[in-house]
Amino acid sequence: MSRILSVLSGIVVIVLLVVLGGTLISMADSSTQAEPGTRASAGTAFTYQGRLSDGPSPASGSYDFAFELYDDPDSGSRVGPTVSEVVTVTQGLFAVELDFG
């Protein structure tokens, strides 16, 4: 009877050690994660994609573009500088990264 008791006691101790070890590992992993509110700030640049036609056909080639950003579509004020870019247009499609600050 005492032998069964010592085997059961040993099993209980092993199970407790495994559970405690898993808890400690979990706590260590969560302490290395970034605290809420410490995210890296997003930049001001964004990608603008568009379509350009040359008459009835899609345009292809290099084109001079001037981009301006306004704070309202109807009567807004310009935000930041005018950004001028030479943009490659392929089958009417283009993409450019813009940053108005």
Helix (H, G, I), strand (E, B) or coil at 57: strand
Taking only the tens place, the pLDDT of each residue in 3-40 is 564 544 555 445 444 545 555 566 655 555 656 666 77
pLDDT for 16:
46
40 domain-assigned: no
pLDDT for 13:
44
| Contact of 64 with 83, CB cutoff 8 Å | no
What is the count of structural domains for the chain?
2
Whether 28 and 58 share a structural domain: no
pLDDT for 2:
60
Residue 76: domain span: 45-99
Taking only the tens place, the pLDDT of each residue in 25-84 is 666 555 556 566 667 777 889 999 999 999 999 999 999 999 999 999 999 999 989 999
Tokens of 88: 């490659």
Whether 66 and 95 share a structural domain: yes
Whether 87 and 53 share a structural domain: yes
| DSSP per-residue letters across 35-52 | PTT-PPPP-SEEEEEEE-
